[in-house]
Amino acid sequence: MSYGLLKGKKGIIFGALNEQSIAWKVAERCHEEGAEFILSNAPIAMRMGELNSLAEKTGSEVIGADATSIEDLEKLFDAAVAKFGKIDFILHSIGMSVNVRKGKHYTEMNYDWLEKGWDVSAVSFHKVMRVAWEKDCMNEWGSILALTYIAAQRTFPDYNDMSDNKAYLESIARTFGNYWGERKVRVNTVSQSPTPTTAGSGVKGFGGFLGYAEDMSPLGNATALDCANYCVTLFSDLTKKVTMQNLFHDGGFSSSGVTQKVISKYDTEN
């Protein structure tokens, strides 16, 4: 069902790779709600993914950009301004850890790999906002979002340096969000349930993450489509005064000490 929440709004969506991507679902829902947008991803990710089919489905233009490259981002935002004028929303759905991919334990960190993952997963968010800031290309009451995970606050085995990356990402949202407030633009992060995306499934023990979170969440895990619906509300005019927040979208996981489902698995008295 469409409510026309984003009718007339323009934006840029970073990070759609395939149909499992949260950014892919966000793009579909934004299109259904009336938005127009540019789809962007790193050139190597675009070769791996199926972005052209999403572009065709949503009537969108695809512009490749390495989000760690100021030069690439400048070209992307120039193209967006030429196409739309000022824009209303940005989604940063980008994350990568070489240490996770290569199975390097946190206690044996490869720091060159750490630096690369940190740049891709967190610093790129600052770079995206910096270029948007310098080009003054956001409309008033615009919305900038990045996707994160509760591992920024809690320890999860094998999430590795992505925990540190997400913590820095959230800090960037708060700090830069303060400045964006001067221009009546809001900046938030969404802490989503573990979701079986290409990136998420690469974490060792992901199936255990998923099952535990399901049992610990009173409403169950939020799906990629659930997250997309939430992002739509955060791009809409209904949330104009929400900024500098890390917003938990996880079925109640973040507020649960323990649930009866989990207790039952360890209750040896019955």
Question: Which position among 3, 111, 149, 179 bears the catalytic label?
Answer: 149
Query: pLDDT at position 1, please?
Result: 78
Taking the model in full, what pTM does it have?
A: 0.95
Q: What is the pLDDT, as a whole number, of residue 269?
A: 64
For the record, the structure tokens of 124 come out as 């790129």
Q: Residue 129: which domain range?
A: 10-265
Domain of 82, CATH number, reads 3.40.50.720
15 known member of a binding site: yes
Residue 270: inside a domain: no
How many C-beta atoms surround the C-beta of residue 26 within 10 A?
30
166 is in an annotated binding site: yes
Q: Judging by DSSP bridges, how do beta strands 186-192 and 61-62 pair with one another?
A: unpaired
Q: Confirm or deny that 21 is annotated as ligand binding.
A: yes
Tell me whether residue 216 is in a domain: yes
Residue 86 lies in a domain: yes
Q: What is the pLDDT, as a whole number, of residue 202?
A: 59
Overall domain count for the chain: 1
Q: Is residue 236 part of a domain?
A: yes
Q: Which residues pair with 146 in a beta bridge?
A: 92, 189
Catalytic residue among 159, 168, 212, 266: 159
> Are the CB atoms for 62 and 52 separated by under 8 Å?
yes
pLDDT of the chain, 270 residues: tens digit per residue: 789 999 999 999 999 999 999 999 999 999 999 999 999 999 887 887 689 999 999 999 999 999 999 999 999 999 999 999 999 999 999 999 999 999 999 999 999 999 999 999 999 999 999 999 999 999 999 999 999 999 999 999 889 999 999 999 999 999 999 999 999 999 999 999 999 876 666 566 677 778 999 999 999 999 999 999 999 999 999 999 999 999 999 999 999 999 999 999 887 765
Please say if 111 is a catalytic residue: no
Active site (annotated) includes residue 159: yes
